[in-house]
Structures are given as C-alpha cells and as structure tokens.
Structure 1
Amino acid sequence: MKKFEEKTIHSTEIFKGKVVSLKVDDVLLPNGKQSKREIIHHPGAVAIIPITNEGKIVLVEQYRKALERSIIEIPAGKLERGEDPAVCARRELEEETGYGARQLTYIQSFATSPGFANEIIHLYAAKDLYKIEEKRELDEDEFVSIIEVTLEEAEEMVKNQQIYDAKTAFSVLWVKLNEM
C-alpha cells in the first residue's frame, strides 16, 4: 500500500461529457474509515511557452466561462485520445497564435487540480518561431487575441492578476529562471 493510499470500494459515473466525466468514488481511508471523492476525469492537455526571436512571450487572451472573465494565458489545448503531446503542442501553437516553431522543448508535466481532477498538462517551450503561411483554424467555439510581451511585462501581469491561471504564472517564472 502506498503511503496514505485510499482504496476505491465503489465507483459511480455521474456525468460523461465531450471533454470531462465526473464520478463519485466511495473510498477506504488509511485509518479504516470510509469517505466519498468526487473526481473529474480529463484527457490531459498541453501548454506552450512561445518565445519570439526578439525574446517576447506570445500570450493569448480569451474568455473563460468557468471564471466568467477574460484571462491572458499561454497557448494550450486538450489532447485527443492517444495523441502525442508534442504533436498536440505544435497544433495548438499554430491554431492559437499563427506561429510554428523550429524548436520545441519539453519542460515538464504537472497536475492542474489534484484535489478533484486527474488532468495533467504537458508543458513545452517553443523557440525559433516563424509565421504560418496558412494559419490553422481555431475551434469553432474558440475566440482569442494575441499579445506579445516582454518578461518584465509578463511579471507585472502576474502581479496585477491579468495572468490569473497557474500554468501561465508558472511559465513566466520558468522563463525568468531560464533567462530566455
């Protein structure tokens, strides 16, 4: 048994959507008591830190219904079933920014909300960018605008909560620590 492992006694699927599903698990706790866990299953995602040849970070602004506001973030997108994260990263970069990358470097993967969801984001840095001649189309329900900022501007955006999501705040810190 793993330290503090919770054994699933019973699992009930509550909802199955196009992107996520929700289940409720009855679990046996390490102390022998039982509890319930509501868990969202997500197929995983990628996020990309695009850095221009001038050293600017390419961000996108889009409305996020769950937050009821627009936020500025790095390009990101959901993995398709069985899709290689690097392939997804290139697709999302092209769709959302109109840029391709000659250099795509894997940084790391991390859990976004481990208290209730199993989503893992695979983070990449994209450098040696070039404009795509025929930009890929955004998803039909996706509307974004592009913003290119310096590292200092991005840090200020984190401070004033224009950059409000964890993957983008983490990415700004990563760029700063790696002197991109």
Structure 2
Amino acid sequence: MKCEKFKRERLELAYRAHVFDVYNDYLVLPDGRRVVYDLIKHSPGACILPVCDDGRIVLVRQYRNAIDEITYEVPAGFIDEGETPKDAAIRELREETGYIARNVEYVTKTVLAIGTSDEQTYLYIGRDLMFEKTEPDENEFINCEYIEIDDVDRMIKNGEIVDSKTLIAIYAYKCSLT
C-alpha cells in the first residue's frame, strides 16, 4: 500500500552491479523535510522448501562469500525473464537438488532487507518429491542435506541455519504441521 504522505522526488543511480543497483532516493517527508535514503533495487527471487515423504526437509549447503561461511539454505535463485515465481522455485529445486516436487504450495512473499532493499523472494513448500538429476549452475558447489524436522530448532539456536528466507520457509512448514 503506497503512502501518499511521502513523496519521491527522484532516484539517482549511484552504482550498478550484476544483480542489483544502488540509488540515492530523494524523498520529501510528511513534515516537508527533504531526506536522501540509500535504496538497493534487486532482482526478485524464489525459493522452495523440499519436504520428503518421511517429513525430513532438504536443504542445500553452499559457500556464501558475503559472510565467508558455508550455509544451510532452501533451494533458491532469481526469477528469469518471463518466468513465474512458482516456475523459478521449481526450476531451482531441480537444478540444486535433482528433485521434482509434484505438489508445490505458495507460502508468502518476503522482503529480505526492507530498510534498504526492494529484494522480494517468493516462498514455496514442495512435497511429493521425485528424484531426477541435479543441474547446478557452473559456479555452484552444492551438497544436499536431509534434516529431521526435530533437529531444526537446535540448528537454528546453534546458528547453523541463519539465512532469512530459509528460516521463514521452515517456520511456515512447521506451522502447517500443527
């Protein structure tokens, strides 16, 4: 919902990167003051939490340079031109895990860094999995991990699962169990 009391005067490109652009966002506040905020315009993405028939979840382990660590995450990636969020989630699941989900349920859309970025990620839960073959991108070095749902809380508490889209997807799945 757009707020009419805030007025954007202009966006000024400050930096262009591969998947996002950084802008100076010139706004007029409701009290008439002018401010400049940083704004990152980011490509949208989609992710999917694969759930095995026995209730285990499948997460991918991969290196993330932003935090210089190996992370546990749901399969995820950018939405390609002309692709729906659901199709992107299904594609990423197949590429990163080799699975096809015959039942894909939309959960929500999330804004991952709402104070600075417009990056939106669409979250899905995938069930009734069938294995085909993995097709990771050439720069992805991924391992699949099968995790018991009872182990998830400990992993979150111990800082083993820290990715926000993954945390939201796990939370949504756990809520569906009650």
Please say whether Structure 1 and Structure 2 have the same fold, judged by a TM-score greater than 0.5.
Answer: yes
The counterpart of 1:161, out of the listed 151, 159, 162, is: 159
Deviation at residue 5 of structure 1 after TM alignment: 4.2
CA distance in 2, matches of 1:128, 1:171: 17
Map 1:1-180 to 2 at 5 A: 3=3, 5-132=5-132, 135-179=133-177
CA distance in 1, matches of 2:34, 2:139: 41
Would you say the 8 A contact 1:151–1:175 is kept in 2?
no
- 1:71/1:4 Cα in 2 relative to 1: closer, same or farther (>3 Å)? farther
Residues 46-55 or 81-90, more deviating: 81-90
Percent identity of equivalent pairs: 34
May I ask how many residue pairs the two structures share in their alignment? 178
Deviation at residue 82 of structure 1 after TM alignment: 3.2
- TM-score, normalised with respect to structure 1: 0.92
Two-structure CA RMSD over aligned residues (Å): 1.7
Deviation at residue 71 of structure 1 after TM alignment: 1.0
SS of equivalent to 2:116: coil
Q: Any unmatched runs of 5+ in structure 2? A: none
- 1:3/1:25 Cα in 2 relative to 1: closer, same or farther (>3 Å)? closer
- 1:10/1:167 Cα in 2 relative to 1: closer, same or farther (>3 Å)? same
Would you say the 8 A contact 2:125–2:169 is kept in 1?
no
CA distance in 1, matches of 2:113, 2:124: 19
Deviation at residue 7 of structure 1 after TM alignment: 1.4
Q: Any unmatched runs of 5+ in structure 1? A: none
CA distance in 2, matches of 1:113, 1:44: 12
**Matched residue type, 1:79:** I
**Matched residue type, 1:156:** R
**Matched residue type, 2:174:** K
CA distance in 2, matches of 1:83, 1:11: 27
SS of equivalent to 1:129: strand
- 1:2/1:179 Cα in 2 relative to 1: closer, same or farther (>3 Å)? closer
- 1:64/1:103 Cα in 2 relative to 1: closer, same or farther (>3 Å)? same
Would you say the 8 A contact 2:107–2:172 is kept in 1?
no
